[in-house]
Amino acid sequence: GENVEQHPSTLSVQEGDSAVIKCTYSDSASNYFPWYKQELGKRPQLIIDIRSNVGEKKDQRIAVTLNKTAKHFSLHITETQPEDSAVYFCAASMGDSSYKLIFGSGTRLLVRP
Amino acid sequence: DVKVTQSSRYLVKRTGEKVFLECVQDMDHENMFWYRQDPGLGLRLIYFSYDVKMKEKGDIPEGYSVSREKKERFSLILESASTNQTSMYLCASSSWGGYTFGSGTRLTVV
């Protein structure tokens, strides 16, 4: 079946450094790629998303890039802060219907003060 | 702001019990989903519904069923709870694109 692979599973960075989380997907028809942040004990929340007609999208310190040819997309967090510590999930739509998502297994990001 | 409300934050049930997990959303979304979240496995789709009385199996439907009698409510049913169904259950809704998740129900089956 279709799947999304996410790496690394854990990531530890020094405050102020950048963090990069990478995902690959298998369904060539996928056209929507959201990222979710889940703080400890809280619900996952959408932080940024990108559609297949766009190669990059930025929102303040976070950015997402998409390479449709390689079926890769990545989350970039610059100038990391302790409050960025959380589990991050990538997801890809199944087929061309953006309402059904397949999630990666998550990356636990720790930002050391 | 879309709200997705799950009726229970924590539940403890006995093996063999029938368990109902309720989810209500208040933004008239067509699509609703049930996921379970386990460490190292991410979010796995159990069932989803794209309209009232419509449902489709996700990746791990065995041991579960669902009900969607009204647009705003999507129920997950564990027909006969087993210890391997101990998990965090997350409900989500969407109209298109990004999901809004509920706070989750941590179910323990003893």
Tell me: the pLDDT tens digits for B44-99?
Answer: 999 999 989 889 999 899 999 999 999 999 999 999 999 999 999 999 999 877 79
Look at residue B96 and give its three-state secondary structure: coil
Ordered per-residue pLDDT tens for chain A, 113 residues: 778 999 999 999 999 999 999 999 998 889 899 999 999 989 999 999 998 888 999 999 999 999 999 999 999 999 999 999 999 999 998 876 657 888 999 999 999 99
Which chain B positions have a beta carbon within 8 Å of A43's beta carbon? 90, 101-104
Work out how many CB contacts closer than 8 A connect A with B: 51
Q: Choose the closest CB to B42 out of A1, A49, A104.
A: A104
- B45: closest chain A residue by CA: A102
Number of H helices, E strands in chain A: 0, 11
Q: What is the pLDDT of residue A94?
A: 82
CA-closest candidate to residue A30, choices A65, A75, A72, A64: A72
Name every residue whose Cβ is closer than 8 Å to that of residue A12 and which is 6 or more positions away in sequence. Answer: A109, A110, A112
Distance, CA of B97 to CA of A16 (rounded, Å): 31
Write phi, then psi, for B72 (nearest 5 degrees). Answer: -85, -10
CB within 8 Å: B99 and A101: yes
Please state whether the peptide bond connecting residue A113 to the residue before it is cis, i.e. omega within 30 degrees of 0. Answer: no
Minimal-distance CA residue of chain B relative to A7: B40
